[in-house]
Structure 1
Amino acid sequence: MDFELPPELVDYLAELDAFIEREIIPLEQADDNVRFFDHRREHARTDWDRGGLPRAEWEELLAEVRRRADAAGHLRYAFPAAHGGRDGTNLAMAVIREHLARRGLGLHCDLQNEHAIVGNNVGLLLVLEYGSPAQQADWVDGLAAGTRFFAFGITEPDHGSDATHMATSAVRDGTDWVLNGEKTWNTGVHIADADLIFARTAGNPGDAAGITAFLVPTNTPGFRVEEYLWTFNMPTDHAHITLTDVRVPETAVFGGEGRGLAVVQHFFNENRIRQAASSLGAAQYCIDRSVEYAKQRKPFGTSLSTHQGIQFPLVELHTQCEMLRALIHKTAWSMDRYGTFAVSEQVSMCNYWANRLCCEAADRAMQIHGGLGYSRHTPFEHIYRHHRRYRITEGTEEIQMRRIAGYLFGFMSQREPKGVRPE
């Protein structure tokens, strides 16, 4: 078994670094754009008078970065070559995501809104995998360029992690479907052209089959944003929406009638391994900065780095990063070789442990940096607040552990879920 990264991937990381130094850092330093990353970041990013949504100036700056990254050939890296990409693998994306996050906060990568110069556009991959020819013709170009976007309407106020009990329903009415229900934590709806709504169309609560995905334009009559939920980490774009007699045509069905849950599971596996890699990179950043600070800081005339009380916690975190990195690389490589659903157990392992590790590393960095670490003049509180979210929103730690237990004790099997492919 060869643990060396492919030489072309190593070269690409250097190419990314050169692009960041040449184009992204100068943009970050221009026109006081650094306000979005220094101690003013939360205020600068948040439109407090518009429901806590991201400020327009912040989102416009991110859009400019995407345009530059696309022009340089980076934004679409993970996409098929036919759509302007480089056929990026899961392993390559995991390595890249960790690499960018390990550089710290910046316009090159800001995980608060999944922004990166190498796009993590799972929506495009889902359209290529499950979209009808008409949906692909409508969506692929805009998704690839980062100029169009659809949100994911999965979670409900009364049904969080258990999507099989969702109350949102869709019933046929002639050639149309009529949707009723509500969704919460519907991230990004404020800029979305459509919302991928998951609704029960057959079966009973608790059934895995009978859930259908619908691409619903956000301007459809009856689609209403009730509020944006303020969170531990601002700004917020997490909406609570309601659907009241929302009528869509048959062409809005995404992935086939009754096969929506398979789309969800595919999305989760693709996204979770990349998100785990980002959390690993952020954790390593916290460790790297803490080691650097401990070498420089000399209270009572002695370097902090000489004290075992400083060394040992960082040694444990650094060791966990190294072990997690090996598992992430192996899992991503296995996804490339054996398929998205072949390593669901390992994806859950990577995800819940990476998110927990990142929070622990950020907390330790705050402690080592003392009062400065607690302030917003260092990035650790921001990293903690953001990555604390992923211990819930990427499938709670408990759900991930339950999945692992299902495989461990034989209650689940690692195979493609029923309904992923047409019979």
Structure 2
Amino acid sequence: MDFAIPQELEDYYAELVAFIEAEIEPLQHEGDNNRFFDHRREDARTDWHRDGLPNEEWEALLREATRRADAAGHWRFSAPKEYGGKDGSNLWMAVIRDRFAQRGLGLHNDLQNEHSIVGNFPFVAMFDQWGTQAQRQEFITGGFERERRVAFGLTEPDHGSDATHMDTVAVRETRDGIDGWRIDGSKMWITGMHVATHVALFARTGGEDGDAKGITCFLVPNPSEGLEIDEYVWTFNMPTDHARFFLKGVWVPDSAILGEEGRGLSLAQSFVHQNRIRQAASSLGAAQYCVEESVRYARHRKPFGEALAKNQAIQFPLVELATQCEMLRLLIYKTAWDMDRMDHKAIERDLSDKVSMCNYWANRLVCEAADRAMQVHGGIGYSREKPFEHIYRHHRRYRITEGAEEIQMRKVAAYLFGYLGPRRETFADL
């Protein structure tokens, strides 16, 4: 059993670091761009006079960073080669995201906007696996050319974790001789609607409440007649791009369906597995950053003439966090490695519980590590001179989004007790 990081991955990461130092860090410090990362960051990133949406200058800076990364061959790393990527694996993405987050806040990787110079593209896998040839051309190729951007429209105001009790309904309706669907309902927490050209919108087209089947994914243009954005909900960490909107007689043709009619939740599962393991790696890296910064501070800070690090009250909590980081890193890397050796259906059947373990524990760990870093640093740690409050406020969201930690623990329990997954046969007689 070999736990070594492949040398080719180490070489590629060294290439990424060189690119960051040569292209991205100078861009971050150009003019007053660093206002988006220093103590002014929340205010600088937020357009308070435009519903709290991201500042356009902030988003332009992110686009310039990814443009440079794309020109250097890094941004599309995880995408298939046929779309200009490098077939980047889940393991490689996990290692890169972990290490990027360990570098701290910076233009190379900023999770608040899901931004990175090595992009995460779960929609590419969705369109590649379930889209028609025309849809793949329009949304994968068009996405990389920045002509298309798709929001993920699953969550509803009255139905968060349980998508099977969906109130948004689509019924067949022919308009001007074209067969299609009329959609009515509402959605909430739909990220990126202010820049999305389309929303992958999930609606019930058959079955009963509680059924996993009978939900269909539609590619709805934004704007569309009858799609009314009510507000962008302000959050613990600003800016916000999380829309609540209503659908009143929105119509789309049959060609707007992504995948099979009534099998839309299968697409959603494809989205979450890739997203969860990579986001877990980022949370792990941010937790490690908080631990390492606390260790350095405790070695240098000398209250009462002695290094703060000599106190066991400082040492022991950081020892526990460092130990959890090491254990979690092994689980994340192993799970990502296993994912690379399975198709989508096998991941859902045999590995979904491990993905949930990685994600819910990483998100809990980073919040604990950020809180401890604030405590170790004292007043300066609580201030916005340090990034710990930002890390806490941002990552706290992931204990709710990407599947609330209670929902993920519920999935782990279902696999553990044999209600789902490979252990079902073990308890078949019960």
Normalised by the shorter chain, which TM-score bucket? over 0.9
Of 302, 308, 311, the match for 1:304: 308
For the 8 Å contact 2:138–2:148, the answer to whether it is kept is: no
- Hey, what does 1:419 align to over in structure 2? none
Q: Secondary structure at the match of 1:142?
A: helix
The question of 1:364 aligning with 2:376 is answered: no
Give the distance between the partners of 2:180 and 2:19, measured in 1 at CA.
48
For the 8 Å contact 1:226–1:242, the answer to whether it is kept is: yes
- Hey, what does 2:428 align to over in structure 1? none
What are the superposed Cα offsets for residues 296-332 of structure 1, whole Å, 9 maximum, x if unpaired?
A: 1111110011111111111100000000000001100
Alignment of 1:199-348 (within 5 A): 199-339=203-343, 340-341=347-348, 342-348=350-356
- Hey, what does 2:26 align to over in structure 1? 26
What are the superposed Cα offsets for residues 143-200 of structure 1, whole Å, 9 maximum, x if unpaired?
A: 2345531001101011110000011000111301110000000010000010010000
For the 8 Å contact 2:77–2:86, the answer to whether it is kept is: yes
What are the superposed Cα offsets for residues 60-95 of structure 1, whole Å, 9 maximum, x if unpaired?
A: 000000100000000000011111111100111111
Runs of 4+ aligned structure 1 residues displaced above 3 Å come to: none
Q: Secondary structure at the match of 1:165?
A: coil
Q: Residue 218 of structure 1: CA displacement? A: 0.8
Alignment of 1:154-169 (within 5 A): 154-169=154-169
Give the distance between the partners of 1:14 and 1:172, measured in 2 at CA.
54
Which amino acid counterpart does residue 94 of structure 1 have in structure 2?
A: A
Q: Residue 129 of structure 1: CA displacement? A: 1.2
Of 383, 393, 410, the match for 2:391: 383
The question of 1:67 aligning with 2:67 is answered: yes
- Normalising by structure 2, report the TM-score: 0.95
Alignment of 1:184-199 (within 5 A): 184-199=188-203
Q: Secondary structure at the match of 1:88?
A: coil
Q: Secondary structure at the match of 2:164?
A: helix
Give the distance between the partners of 1:309 and 1:215, measured in 2 at CA.
54
Q: Percent identity?
A: 63
For the 8 Å contact 1:151–1:195, the answer to whether it is kept is: yes
Q: Secondary structure at the match of 1:183?
A: strand
The question of 1:138 aligning with 2:146 is answered: no
Of 404, 417, 424, the match for 1:409: 417
Which amino acid counterpart does residue 391 of structure 1 have in structure 2?
A: R
Q: Residue 347 of structure 1: CA displacement? A: 0.3
The question of 1:148 aligning with 2:136 is answered: no
Which amino acid counterpart does residue 345 of structure 1 have in structure 2?
A: D
Q: Secondary structure at the match of 1:393?
A: coil
Q: Residue 115 of structure 1: CA displacement? A: 0.1
Cα–Cα, structure 1 residues 345 and 128, in superposed 2: closer, same or farther, change >3 Å? same
For the 8 Å contact 1:197–1:215, the answer to whether it is kept is: yes
The question of 1:400 aligning with 2:408 is answered: yes
Alignment of 1:35-114 (within 5 A): 35-114=35-114
Unaligned runs of at least 5 residues, structure 2: 424-430
Single out whichever of 200-209 and 405-414 deviates more from structure 2: 405-414
Give the distance between the partners of 1:219 and 1:9, measured in 2 at CA.
42
What are the superposed Cα offsets for residues 218-262 of structure 1, whole Å, 9 maximum, x if unpaired?
A: 111011110000000000000001100000010100011011000
For the 8 Å contact 1:222–1:246, the answer to whether it is kept is: yes
Give the distance between the partners of 1:290 and 1:147, measured in 2 at CA.
43
For the 8 Å contact 2:148–2:198, the answer to whether it is kept is: no
Q: Secondary structure at the match of 1:105?
A: coil
- Normalising by structure 1, report the TM-score: 0.97
For the 8 Å contact 2:104–2:289, the answer to whether it is kept is: yes
Q: Residue 396 of structure 1: CA displacement? A: 0.7
For the 8 Å contact 1:196–1:214, the answer to whether it is kept is: yes
Q: Secondary structure at the match of 2:231?
A: strand
Q: Residue 35 of structure 1: CA displacement? A: 0.2
Which amino acid counterpart does residue 300 of structure 1 have in structure 2?
A: F
- Hey, what does 1:418 align to over in structure 2? none
For the 8 Å contact 2:125–2:270, the answer to whether it is kept is: no
Q: Secondary structure at the match of 1:85?
A: coil
For the 8 Å contact 1:344–1:414, the answer to whether it is kept is: no
Give the distance between the partners of 1:366 and 1:279, measured in 2 at CA.
17
Give the distance between the partners of 2:143 and 2:316, measured in 1 at CA.
46
Give the distance between the partners of 1:323 and 1:216, measured in 2 at CA.
43
Q: Secondary structure at the match of 2:340?
A: helix
For the 8 Å contact 2:228–2:246, the answer to whether it is kept is: yes
Which amino acid counterpart does residue 251 of structure 2 have in structure 1?
A: R
- Hey, what does 2:427 align to over in structure 1? none
Which amino acid counterpart does residue 395 of structure 1 have in structure 2?
A: G
Q: Secondary structure at the match of 2:327?
A: helix
Which amino acid counterpart does residue 84 of structure 1 have in structure 2?
A: G
Q: Secondary structure at the match of 1:338?
A: coil
Equivalences, count: 415
Which amino acid counterpart does residue 6 of structure 2 have in structure 1?
A: P
- Hey, what does 2:426 align to over in structure 1? none
